[in-house]
Copies of this chain bind each other. A is one copy, B any other.
Amino acid sequence: MKHLSWRLGLGAALVVWYIFAVAMPGDPQTTSAIHGFSRTRVEKEFQLEQKLQAIPDPAHAESNLRHLTSEPHMAGTEASHRVAEWLLAQYRSFGFDAEIVTYSAWLPQPREIKLELVAPQKLALASPEQPVDGDPDTLDQRVGPAFNSYSPSGEITAPVVYVNYGLRADYRELESLGVSVEGKIVIARYGRGFRGIKAKIAEEHKAAALIVYSDPEDDGYVLGDTYPRGPWRPLSGIQRGSVMYTEIYPGDPLDSDAATSPNAKRFPAATASDLPHIPTMPISAKDAAVILASLGGQHVPRGWQGGLAFTYHIGPGDVQAHMKLVIDYAPRPVYDVIAKLHGTDDDEWVVLGNHHDAWVFGAADPGSGTTTMLETARAMGELARSGWKPRRTIVMCEWDAEEPGLIGSTEWVEANGPELQAKAVAYINADVAVTGPNFTASATPSLKELIREVTREVPDPATGSTVYQAWFDHAGRPQEPAPALPRQPSGPDPPNEVPIGNLGAGSDFCPFFDHAGVPSIDLGFEGDYGVYHSLYDDFYWMKHFGDPTFVYHAALARVIGTLALRLDEADILPYDYATYANDIARATTRAVAHAAQVPGEDSTLRPITEAAAQLMESASRESQALRATSIQSLGPAKIAEVNRTLSSVEQALLTPEGLFGRPWYKHTVFAPGSYAGYAAEMLPGINESLDRNDLSALRIEVDSLAAALLRAAARLDEVSRLTQPSGDSSPLSGH
């Protein structure tokens, strides 16, 4: 203890004290049996949840998914519009007040996607995905060519170099082997990072173009049987996808910070900092094998060999490829469906969402989520019909143009920023929502305990126990090796608990959480899923592998519905800021260890260590205060004020200037990593300044984070003050 405090300062000592003395076990915020509910309302809430849980139905889910996957419906096409209209009708039929909100965004249509080997021999590549027996959808003539959205058009003939996953460490390895990629076409395998990051890094290393392919080791036959025999990617399967630099900003690339109407002023594409500049295209393992097997040059380093049936080489040898991409970018309509079930209090919103646009048929991505949301909405509609009126307004959103770059959600969040921040108490996202039987979730730390609580109330389809128990049995804490310092991908979960990740990027929670500071959740059931972003992510796949009986769709609708009801009906919103403060304090400790590797930077981080300690104290006091409070005695006005304050704590963690080099990202505690892509980075400003060895940026980020933590602490102090027994209204003593 002494030793620790000597090394890490007072703040760290407080972390240790806090973790052992205060944060365990989880402290309920109220004295009732469910967090946030006064005792008298618990029974009724359980009854309401039971009623809701009886409604979702696998047969409904199946029939909805069959409809949603009946034609390819990429964003910017008329098919996507048809899906939006159908969803609108569905929500209206459930009794929601629904509308289509249309934006215009700079969207691609592929015109010519061509790749050929020109040396050592001429061979046409970029072959389409092969139809499979028994699955008529794979014969659909409306399926377009696979491409990477936001790749520029271009034509290039150049030697080819294999760059493994195309991450920064891979290029360092190439450099150490004396291989330059300048002017070359690089070929990278998918995996271990967002494809847009691969494009950015390739561009940074002066590659002329990028090919990304799906190696059988990563989602194909090495892992298990391939479609249609199994759920994994067949040799001809192609992963489409966006290469927009969404880690800079998502949404319409030509308008980085405001809602976009057809007539809005846009800046030119050349100045958009989230657009890649080198042509990029995805290909199948089958096409990649032709290129990779022909490569000369050195044998690849350890770990670069994939699952194809030959020895991988770096290249180039005499291999030359010719790539030609003609992609037509233009402002095209984006159709969001926004459906509201108005509550008694229309000034507080529980927001739920998923996108509806798909790369092809999109059974798992996004159909499983859309279908689940529809069942959740249908259940709520039925409750409303039977006399229930939500306490807060339920807002269900079906986003368009998520695939090209989270466009529908981002534009809506940007357009409705102040109202959303004033009203939204949470955002629940369910994108690739069902691909198998294993429950999984990522969330803001303040809502992690709520997820565990709710999954204890929903039956697991396979085992007959609860979703929570099956989740624990599959993913419980003991299986996870402790991650090494100084970074940790997810927050520290309580011992013997199921792990819940932090929110990274890759779906529509991003604008809500990272930009607007709305406490967010992303969740689903996952399994073996190798057909991501391919032709084969279709109804037949779901019916044979993902969820053949649709019971997990129904179970997820129950989980989401129950989560929404808790957030909707709670007297005091059930945030857990003790866990949040704890996670931040641990991240701070890791950042200190990270900084210790940079000479002379041992004291720079003191402001954040101190602020994190302050936040822990405030959170501890707040949770104790809420636990000691009789909700009834507070009265409606004070309850509203407490809730307003509680739901603004996440926003207190935003910084108006945003992060270094990417001002759209406002959250000081979480962001997608600048070179990780999907994965969440904690204290991104601090850690990325340290990575860049940019000490002047570091000082700014330290001040900005410390200020954010103190703002959050002040709001929690305000909650403690508001919930003081009325006889004692003295302000809290300072620390």
Q: Contact residues of A with B, CB < 8 Å? A: 216, 221-226, 229-230, 232, 299, 305, 307-311
- Chain B proximity of A4: nearest CB distance (Å): 27
- Chain B proximity of A121: nearest CB distance (Å): 18
Known contacts A216-B309, A230-B311; is A299 also within 8 Å of B222 by CB? no
Known contacts A309-B308, A311-B230, A311-B232; is A299 also within 8 Å of B216 by CB? no
Which of B225, B305, B307, B311 is within 8 Å of A309, CB to CB?
B307
- Chain B proximity of A301: nearest CB distance (Å): 11
CB–CB A221/B309 < 8 A = yes
Q: Which residues of B sit under 8 angstroms from A310, Cβ to Cβ?
A: 221
CA distance A223 to B312 in the complex (A): 9
The 3 A-B residue pairs whose C-beta atoms are closest, nearest first, are A309-B309, A221-B311, A225-B311
CB–CB A299/B221 < 8 A = no
Q: Which residues of B sit under 8 angstroms from A225, Cβ to Cβ?
A: 299, 311
Q: Which residues of B sit under 8 angstroms from A224, Cβ to Cβ?
A: 299, 311
- Chain B proximity of A513: nearest CB distance (Å): 35
CA distance A266 to B230 in the complex (A): 57
Q: Which residues of B sit under 8 angstroms from A223, Cβ to Cβ?
A: 311
- Chain B proximity of A296: nearest CB distance (Å): 10
Q: Which residues of B sit under 8 angstroms from A229, Cβ to Cβ?
A: 311
Residue of B nearest to A285 (CB): B309
CA distance A421 to B517 in the complex (A): 83
Residue of B nearest to A310 (CB): B221
Which of B222, B305, B308 is within 8 Å of A305, CB to CB?
B222
Q: Which residues of B sit under 8 angstroms from A216, Cβ to Cβ?
A: 309
Q: Which residues of B sit under 8 angstroms from A308, Cβ to Cβ?
A: 309
- Chain B proximity of A75: nearest CB distance (Å): 34
CA distance A597 to B216 in the complex (A): 42
Q: Which residues of B sit under 8 angstroms from A230, Cβ to Cβ?
A: 299, 311
- Chain B proximity of A183: nearest CB distance (Å): 27
Q: Which of A225, A230, A308, A309 has the most CB of B within 10 A?
A: A309
CA distance A309 to B223 in the complex (A): 11
CA distance A549 to B229 in the complex (A): 51
Taking A224-B311, A309-B309 as given, write out 16 further A-B residue pairs in contact, using a Cβ cutoff of 8 Å, ordered by the A residue number: A216-B309, A221-B309, A221-B310, A221-B311, A222-B305, A222-B311, A223-B311, A224-B299, A226-B311, A229-B311, A230-B299, A230-B311, A232-B311, A307-B307, A307-B309, A308-B309
Q: Which residues of B sit under 8 angstroms from A232, Cβ to Cβ?
A: 311
CA distance A309 to B224 in the complex (A): 11
- What would 10 A/B residue contacts be, using CB atoms closer than 8 Å? A216-B309, A222-B305, A222-B311, A223-B311, A229-B311, A230-B299, A230-B311, A307-B307, A307-B309, A309-B309
CA distance A571 to B232 in the complex (A): 70
Residue of B nearest to A229 (CB): B311
Q: Which residues of B sit under 8 angstroms from A311, Cβ to Cβ?
A: 221-226, 229-230, 232
CA distance A487 to B310 in the complex (A): 36
Q: Which of A232, A308, A311 has the most CB of B within 10 A?
A: A311
CA distance A309 to B310 in the complex (A): 9
CA distance A60 to B216 in the complex (A): 48
Residue of B nearest to A226 (CB): B311
- Chain B proximity of A702: nearest CB distance (Å): 38
- Chain B proximity of A529: nearest CB distance (Å): 15
- Chain B proximity of A230: nearest CB distance (Å): 7
- Chain B proximity of A224: nearest CB distance (Å): 5
CA distance A222 to B305 in the complex (A): 7
CA distance A504 to B121 in the complex (A): 51
CA distance A299 to B222 in the complex (A): 11
CA distance A391 to B622 in the complex (A): 90
Q: Which residues of B sit under 8 angstroms from A305, Cβ to Cβ?
A: 222
